[in-house]
Amino acid sequence: MVASTHFRLKGKERKSSLERVQDFPLASIRSDGHLREAQRVIDQLLAQGKLDEGEQTYLDALSDLVGTYEDENFAIEPASDADMLRHLIEAKGITQIELSRGTGLAKSSISQVLAGKKPFSRQMIRKLADFFGVDVSVLVGNL
């Protein structure tokens, strides 16, 4: 049974997409060797610069396949509250005292989080998200 779709590549874009599929078929990544080959193809496409619609469609699909394999085989644990806060402080180039003044959070609470002795509270998350200009979802990974 063939699924019907309104998305169609035509002309040059169709040809470039089909050529890519013939050179490196779009299939679920099943091994680290297959992953390396897929990454090599992705690198070649990115180095090419401007891609036509067919090449871009192929690159998007191959990138999705690589992402799925990596998510299943190389999962990255969420950062600890201490690591996340340390990163945000360093990225903004501020001190703990400046963070305390800017958020109204007690310096001792900030120090306890950085030492790994205290997790973020919901109140801290709201204040930190506002101060650093990030979505609260960035900070709630360990709640």
pTM for this entry: 0.54
Angle, vertex CA 62, rays to CA 64 and CA 12, nearest 5: 130
Whole-number pLDDT of residue 76: 80
pLDDT tens-digit readout, 27-65 = 999 999 999 999 999 999 999 888 888 889 889 999 999
Q: How far is CA 15 from CA 26, 58, 70, in A?
A: 15, 11, 29
Whole-number pLDDT of residue 37: 95
Res 12 pLDDT > 60: yes
Res 5 pLDDT > 70: no
Domains, the chain, with CATH or none: 11-73 (no CATH), 81-138 (1.10.260.40)
- State which amino acid sits at residue 109: S
